[in-house]
Amino acid sequence: MEPLIITVAPVGAEITPEQTPHLATTPLKLGEVAAACRQAGASIIHVHCRNDDGTNTHEVERFAQAYEAIRSSSDLIVQFSTGGAIGMTPQERSAVLQLRPEMATLTCGTVNFGDEVFENSFPIMRGILEKMHQYGVRPELEIFDKGHLSNARRLQRERLLEFPQHIDFVLGVPGGLDATVPNLCDLVGDLPSGCTWSVAGIGRMQLPMAMAAIAMGGHVRVGLEDNIFYSKGRLATNEELVARVARIAAELGRPVATPSQARATLGLAQEKTAGAVN
């Protein structure tokens, strides 16, 4: 099996500083988290930004500062969120693509999100994809529900998307598909040929989904965006969550990928960056 690509999603848009002291609210802190997670075995960082007070922001300037901080402290693959936070406009969510990150997420359909709705209509998806093409940004397709794969195939028929792609299954969002092994197997069996995939289990399903992905030959996303606990009642740091997956993967005979190996697996250009560990 290929080396394991671990994506760390350290911030997200849902958790608050009141819930955990480990939320990186500034670009400087995000740079520190990136370095620690790189040491622990991560090769991709999925980026959301906050203001100093912990509120959400998708301002281009803040993302530029975060990008610089991450780049000066690590050689991680930088993947921006275009999902943002519920209530942000598609324009706000996608403006950060002008910074030309190596990758960015594209959620492939609308989904209930707790009591709210995470809106990704076809016009919204097309608009984001067009900007990705304009700025040369590689998408990671975020799949919260089975129908999202059908939507991705429709975008392919419209010639806005080519397969194979890298896919991230986000399972266990209240309103999306449950994080179960049968659901994961079903999704993987439905992938267009040649796609690589990772899974992000929400809450206490983060670790079981990661274990299943390691065994199945997939890749893993962990981090406080999806789960703030290491174990019941014990708050986690991002690097602890990454290190645990790397440790278990090693026991199962899957070493973790360096960012350079992950770039090769995903077909991304190799970058010369500061802060490389090896």
At its nearest, how many Å lie between Zn ion and the CB of residue 140?
10
The encoded tokens of residue 154 equal: 């429709």
* 40: Cα separation from own chain's centroid: 17
Q: Which 123-152 residues touch ligand KMH, going by CB under 6 A?
A: 142
* Stretch of 18-26, 80-88, 127-135, 155-163 lying at the interface with ligand KMH (CB under 6 A): 80-88
- Interstrand relation of 138-143 and 166-171 (parallel, antiparallel or unpaired): parallel
At its nearest, how many Å lie between ligand KMH and the CB of residue 1?
27
The dihedral of CA 234, 240, 241, 244: what is its sign?
A: negative
Give the residue with the Cβ less far from Zn ion, 42 or 254.
42
At its nearest, how many Å lie between ligand KMH and the CB of residue 274?
26
- Interstrand relation of 103-107 and 77-80 (parallel, antiparallel or unpaired): parallel
- How many other C-beta atoms can be found within 10 angstroms of the C-beta atom of residue 23? 21
* Stretch of 83-91, 120-128, 129-137, 233-241 lying at the interface with ligand KMH (CB under 6 A): 83-91
* By the rule CB under 5 A, 206 interacts with Zn ion: no
**Binds ligand KMH by CB under 6 A, chosen from 81, 183, 198, 258:** 81
- 267 to each of 132, 155, 171, 263, 270, how far by Cα in Å? 16, 21, 25, 6, 9
Q: Which of 142, 194, 148 is nearest to 167 (CA)?
A: 142
* Stretch of 75-83, 94-102, 210-218, 257-265 lying at the interface with ligand KMH (CB under 6 A): 75-83
**Binds ligand KMH by CB under 6 A, chosen from 83, 90, 101, 172:** 83
* By the rule CB under 6 A, 113 interacts with ligand KMH: yes
Q: Which 64-83 residues touch Zn ion, going by CB under 5 A?
A: 81
* By the rule CB under 6 A, 94 interacts with ligand KMH: no
At its nearest, how many Å lie between ligand KMH and the CB of residue 217?
24
What secondary structure does DSSP assign to 31-51, as a single string? HHHHHHHHHHT--EEEE-EE-
Q: Which residue is nearest to ligand KMH (CB)?
A: 83
Q: For residue 154, give the H/E element and its range.
A: helix 146-157
Number of residues that bind ligand KMH (CB under 6 A): 12
3-class SS of residue 267: coil
- How many other C-beta atoms can be found within 10 angstroms of the C-beta atom of residue 50? 25
Q: Which 2-41 residues touch ligand KMH, going by CB under 6 A?
A: 12-13
- Enumerate residues 6+ apart whose C-beta is below 8 A from 123: none
107 binds, among Zn ion, ligand KMH, none (CB under 5 to 8 A by kind): ligand KMH
Q: Please tell me the chain's helix, strand, coil percentages from 3-state DSSP, rounded to the nearest 5.
A: 40, 20, 40
**List of residues contacting Zn ion (CB under 5 A):** 81
**List of residues contacting ligand KMH (CB under 6 A):** 12-13, 81-83, 85-86, 105, 107, 113, 118, 142
